[in-house]
Amino acid sequence: MKYNIALLKGDGIGPEIVDSAVRVLEKIARKYGHEFVFTPYLIGGAAIDACGEPLPKETVEGCLASDSVLLGAVGGPKWDTLPGNLRPEKALLGIRAAMGLFTNLRPAKLYPALKGECPLRADLVENGFDIMIVRELTGGIYFGERGMREGKWGEEAYDTECYSRMEIERIAKVAFETAMKRGKRVTSIDKANVLESSRLWRKIMHETAERYPEVEYSDMLVDNAAMQLVRNPAQFDVVVTSNMFGDILSDEASQITGSIGMLPSASLGETSRGLYEPIHGSAPDIAGQHKANPIATILSAGMMLLHSFGLSRENEDIVNAVDAVLNAGYRTADLAHGAPSLSTEEITDKILAQI
């Protein structure tokens, strides 16, 4: 099969980690007889430097014409003084909106070989954990009405949390369909004891749960969820929540895995085309030093094979190769704690050898 993949390498370590993922995809293509055609486009700070805007029209058109998109990272101190509409991060919201991506899938898995990296007590993670956070991506307070006004106590700012039935129904469906392919458990996170938007969220989640009797369903308030993630993470299978709550909880979940450099993500919409990226940032302090951990980006490429192209065996090969390399004791600098470590290219070579 032939697939056209748009590459958004971005800034900082973005080009290095995307190059590693491309090498892995090329190995998969040779093994299974696929053809991956890679086309690079500018985004973020690199795009600002080249053409004065973080998300050029050519990039949007290229992504929409592709079968899927692989992103590295954007941003860095070089562009921190620019106005908000010209910041590299603005490109992320723009490309998600242009592609109609309303779902963010963010797995948080504790690899057995990395149990020592987990900041939680050993007895709390003895059996590991494997959580899939399903975050609504294009609604809620990040996209609601906002502004400045004169209030009771003088100048005040406001941001509005708003969710429609349609937005909640479609993310609920993603969560339950995802659970059907995993452990058949869904936990919906809200703040229904305070927020009207959460009350509608909970009502629609309950309606959806009735259509999936095989799935064990529960509600949890967001403050309790933040506590439970560090108290007993293994209790969770699929977690579904709003944009802001998902943003916060997924970052918390990433930290208890031991390394943010290990975690991939997928942003999906109504079509098979998605945007796949590691959850970490551009790490400009180590850019060009061959220290970056490419595993999150490599696993993101695997998620692309699975969710956009339906290539489950190929994704499994990548996941198994990463497991084997970690189990053999190979580490990049972020996991080596001063011990001998492998470069970005060397750890990629080890993964390639396992495929």
In tens, the pLDDT along 8-56 reads: 999 999 999 999 999 999 999 999 999 999 999 999 999 999 999 999 9
Cα 30 to chain centroid, rounded:
27
User: How far is CA 191 from each of CA 188, 196, 223, rounded to the nearest angstrom?
Assistant: 10, 9, 8
State the Cα–Cα distance between residues 333 and 168, nearest whole angstrom: 41
Residues 327, 332, 335, CA angle at the centre, nearest 5°? 75
Write down the catalytic residue from 115, 142, 323, 350.
Answer: 142
Write down the catalytic residue from 9, 27, 191, 291.
Answer: 191
State the Cα–Cα distance between residues 127 and 321, nearest whole angstrom: 21
User: Tokens 């939680």 sit at which residue?
Assistant: 120
The pLDDT value recorded for residue 282 is 94
The pLDDT value recorded for residue 258 is 81
Write down the catalytic residue from 19, 251, 323, 349.
Answer: 251
The pLDDT value recorded for residue 337 is 85
The pLDDT value recorded for residue 339 is 84
Asked if residue 263 lies in contact with residue 277, where contact means CB atoms within 8 angstroms, the answer is no
Environment class of 10 (CB within 10 Å of its CB; exposed 0-12, middle 13-18, buried 19+): buried
Check if 223 is active-site: yes
User: pLDDT band at 305, cuts 50/70/90?
Assistant: very high
pLDDT reading at 261 higher than 90 = no
What percent of the chain is modeled with pLDDT above 90?
86
Check if 27 is active-site: no
Check if 130 is active-site: no
Check for a shared fold between 1-101+270-355 and 119-256. Answer: yes
pLDDT reading at 223 higher than 90 = yes
Q: What is the pTM of this model?
A: 0.92
Check if 285 is active-site: no
Q: What are phi and psi of 206, to 5 degrees?
A: -65, -40
Residue type, 49: D
pLDDT reading at 264 higher than 90 = yes
pLDDT reading at 115 higher than 90 = no
The residue ranges of every structural domain in the chain are: 1-101+270-355, 119-256
Check if 247 is active-site: yes
Write down the catalytic residue from 11, 219, 237, 247.
Answer: 247
- The class level of CATH for 119-256 reads alpha beta
User: How far is CA 150 from each of CA 10, 143, 146, 233, rounded to the nearest angstrom?
Assistant: 40, 22, 13, 44
Structure-model confidence comparison of residues 30 and 84, the more confident one: 30
Asked if residue 267 lies in contact with residue 101, where contact means CB atoms within 8 angstroms, the answer is yes
- Give the closest residue to 300 by CA, choosing from 334, 272, 261: 261
pLDDT reading at 346 higher than 90 = yes
CATH of segment(s) 1-101+270-355: 3.40.718.10
The pLDDT value recorded for residue 259 is 79
Write down the catalytic residue from 49, 80, 223, 285.
Answer: 223
Average pLDDT of the chain is 95
Asked if residue 69 lies in contact with residue 272, where contact means CB atoms within 8 angstroms, the answer is no
User: Tokens 């009350």 sit at which residue?
Assistant: 199
